[in-house]
Amino acid sequence: MLSSMRKVAIGLATGLVCLGGVVPGLTASADAHGVHGQDHSKASVLNASLAPSLPTYSPIFGVTAGGAPWALQSGHVRLGQSGALEVSVNGLVLTTTGANPVPGLAASVFCDGTLAATTASVPFSTTGDARIHATVSLPSPCLAPAVLLNPDVTSVVTSVYIAFDGTV
């Protein structure tokens, strides 16, 4: 009896091992670049669309929404584990005028609700277009990452946001 039970158990184990090679997801592999050859130094901790702010929005991490309603044609943010930050904004303008009155834009990065870094200001066109390429210092781990976009009139106003990542 024990011998036949062992045969069944060995047969089941062999079948599961063979299945692992046939059914995707049942096995995992790793190498020097991580799982399935991914280079995790470039892995994203945040990859999200941006959304414009409205004055009626609640503060996020103690940062107040801008005093006028904004509209956004398109926007995206990517934050890598290494701190590489890429922000692309197209058509971030006031809904009342269809233009952007702010000459500069900066990004504030939050980890677990705490300000981790703010980028230098970049040019922000009157049509509402800007690109931020920066490297910021992140805590390890950066839990619940979030990005707020701050206006820069004469200096960066980190107490106000005019756009935010859609995951907040």
pLDDT, position 168: 66
CATH 2.60.40 range(s) for the chain read 40-165
User: How remote is the C-alpha of 127 from its chain's centroid?
Assistant: 24
Q: Which of 20, 84, 15 is nearest to 46 (CA)?
A: 84
Q: Report, in this order, helix, strand and coil percent for the chain, each rounded to 5.
A: 15, 40, 45
Distances (CA, A) of 132 to 46, 48, 63, 137, 150: 15, 15, 20, 15, 12
Q: Which helix (H) or strand (E) holds 164?
A: strand 163-165
pLDDT in the model for residue 29? 29
The pLDDT of residue 167 is 76
Q: Where are the beta strands (DSSP E) in 10-162?
A: 30-31, 34-35, 44-52, 64-65, 70-71, 74-80, 84-90, 93-94, 104-111, 114-118, 122-123, 130-135, 146-152, 160-161
Mean pLDDT by 10 residues, the chain (168 residues): 41 37 33 38 86 97 96 98 97 98 97 96 98 96 96 90 88
Q: What is the CATH class of 40-165? A: mainly beta
Overall pTM surpassing 0.85 (yes/no):
no
